[in-house]
Amino acid sequence: MASLALVAMFSLVAPAADGGAKGPAAPATVGLTVRVRGLTNDRGRVAVALFSTAESFPDQKRAVAGHLAKIEKGRAAVRFVGLRPGVYAVAVLHDENENDEMDFNFLGMPLEGYGFSNDASATFGPPSFQAASFRLQPRNSFIPIRMRYFL
């Protein structure tokens, strides 16, 4: 699995039914809150990375944006602002030892928790961008992420 530490197709306003007038313009940018649950402990921090293309996902160096969050009672949250409505995917790492990378055992299995938007599974490596992608609507939104742990 690639390191997980730490948009987009633009939505157009459709013409109104009267054939000429346009409805209210969509906001130029919106916010996205990512709510992470299911963390097994409050050690370390959560790294949340936001991606806009299949080519970049989930390479942390090619993320559109990334945030680190404190963990409290097995939960964490981050907010991305200034996003254009479009297609995105999120990858999350529970960086328990705060070394800014996913740690693996000798078999290559993850030693730290991870999660993806759409609860996309990561059987033998990260899921595809398509499996994890979602459409960010022209309004402030939130998505839940459920953490997974191999051991």
Amino acid making up residue 9: M
Which pLDDT score is estimated for 150?
86
Could you list the residue range(s) of the whole structural domain that residue 117 is in?
30-146
- Residue 14's contacts (CB-CB under 8 Å, 6 or more residues apart) are 23
pLDDT digits (tens, 9 = 90+) for 83-125: 999 999 999 999 999 999 999 999 989 999 999 999 999 888 8
pLDDT bin (cut points 50, 70, 90) of residue 62 is: very high
Q: For the chain, give the percent of residues with pLDDT over 90.
A: 74
Quote the pTM value: 0.80
**CA–CA separation, 98 and 75 (whole Å):** 17
- Total number of domains in the chain: 1
The CATH number of whichever domain residue 69 belongs to comes to: 2.60.40.10
The total number of residues written for the chain in this structure: 151
Instruction: Tell me if the bond preceding 138 is cis, omega within 30° of 0.
Output: no
**CA–CA separation, 48 and 5 (whole Å):** 7
Look at strands 45-51 and 86-95 and give their pairing.
antiparallel
